[in-house]
Amino acid sequence: MNFLKYSLLRLGILVALFVLCLYLGLGLVFSGIAAVIAAFAVCYIFFPKLHYAAGQDFHRFISRSPKPQNRVALEDQEYEDSYTDAEARKDV
């Protein structure tokens, strides 16, 4: 949930800064670049707790992949990895 909040906050700041830069007449490309950089900087500097919580949520979401627990599964995984690496080297 924190990841969603942080992303929406960044998006809102980005849109507001983009519209402001366009209103000031900076041009489309420069407004986009300036808005992206400023939005990331503002969120990173002024919302560090939310940034950290969003990072933890994202890490928790990514690390949910199942990991083999027994010795046989680990050996199978090593064998499969070595086989795919060898096949990849043959193609190159």
Question: For residue 40, what are the domain limits?
Answer: 2-67
- Give the torsion sign (CA, 42, 59, 3, 17): positive
Interval 17-42 mean pLDDT: 95
Q: Which residue has 């002024």 as its token pair?
A: 46
Confidence grade of residue 68 (pLDDT, cut at 50, 70, 90): low
pLDDT at 65: 64
Domain-embedded: residue 76: no
Domain-embedded: residue 79: no
- The lowest-confidence range among 5-9, 12-16, 28-32, 77-81 is 77-81
Q: Are 51 and 6 in contact (CB under 8 A)?
A: yes
Domain-embedded: residue 88: no
Q: How far apart are CA 32 and CA 38, in angstroms?
A: 10
Number of domains in the chain: 1
Burial profile 11-41: b = 16 or more Cβ within 10 angstroms, e = fewer: eebbeebbeebeeeebeeeebbebbeebbee
Domain-embedded: residue 11: yes
Domain-embedded: residue 73: no
Q: What is the pLDDT of residues 44-61, one digit of tens each?
A: 999 999 999 998 988 888
Q: How far apart are CA 23 and CA 17, in angstroms?
A: 10
Domain-embedded: residue 30: yes
Domain-embedded: residue 62: yes
Domain-embedded: residue 78: no
